[in-house]
Amino acid sequence: MSDRIGDSVSPEDLAAVSAQLGRPVRGVVGVAHRCACGLPDVVKTAPRLPDGTPFPTLFYLTCPRATSAIGTLEADGVMREMTERLASDPELAQAYARAHEMYVAQREEMESVAEIAGVSAGGMPDRVKCLHVLVGHALAAGAGVNPLGDDALELLERMLGTLDCWGGAGRCVDVHDEEEG
């Protein structure tokens, strides 16, 4: 079974994302955000993969530089700190709950999948389980939608110096080399 391809994803995008992930893409229906270099760094994924597997992660971060930098934040305890903030800051908790509701609603608009009904991703709405998901959501939805995704982006910018090409080093993959190799 082949992946469903939306209007906003090209064969070149799929090749780039496959190169970024080091494996063929699955269930990609669109590009949700592009890096400054023009490559996708967040893709929109179907709620059910082509093999029938339910997939709650609507916005999937693909750039290996971004995922590596986020891994550093996670290792530094940022998720624990954010979860503690959720417990002590009712306004933050409400905003995070709204992000969760929006995430679920956007996915439901695509397809209702009973196995993941009401489940978003990344630990929303009660905790922070995966910064990769929160950053992907923040990039796809724009500033002000996912407050903890926005906070993680600010931390990444401080750590990397710039979010352009996730540290300013140019493209993370050379798609032409991947296609030829």
Let me know if 153 is exposed, middle or buried by CB neighbors in 10 A (0-12, 13-18, 19+).
Answer: buried
According to DSSP, residue 4 is labeled P
Q: What whole-number distance in Å separates Cα of residue 13 and Cα of residue 162? A: 23
Q: Do the Cβ atoms of 33 and 40 come closer than 8 Å?
A: yes
Which element (helix H / strand E) includes 163? none
Q: Using one digit for the tens of pLDDT, what is the confidence trace for 113-122?
A: 999 999 999 9
| Strand pairing class (40-45; 28-34) | antiparallel
Instruction: Return the domain boundaries, the chain.
Output: 11-160
Residue partners of 26: CB distance under 8 A and separation at least 6: 3, 45, 49, 50, 51
Q: HSE (CB half, 13 Å, CA atoms) of 65?
A: 21
Which element (helix H / strand E) includes 60? strand 59-61
Residue partners of 155: CB distance under 8 A and separation at least 6: 73, 78
- pLDDT value, residue 5: 37
Write down the mean pLDDT value for the chain: 91
Which residue shows structure tokens 């891994």?
A: 71
Residue 135 phi/psi, 5-degree rounding, is: -70, -45
Which amino acid is located at 86 in the chain? L
pLDDT band of 176, cuts 50, 70, 90: low
Average pLDDT over residues 131-153: 97
With pLDDT > 90 as the criterion, what percentage of the chain qualifies?
Answer: 87
Is the pTM higher than 0.85? The answer reads yes
Q: What whole-number distance in Å separates Cα of residue 141 and Cα of residue 107? A: 13
Q: What whole-number distance in Å separates Cα of residue 98 and Cα of residue 77? A: 24
Tell me the residue ranges of DSSP E strands in 14-57. Answer: 28-34, 40-45
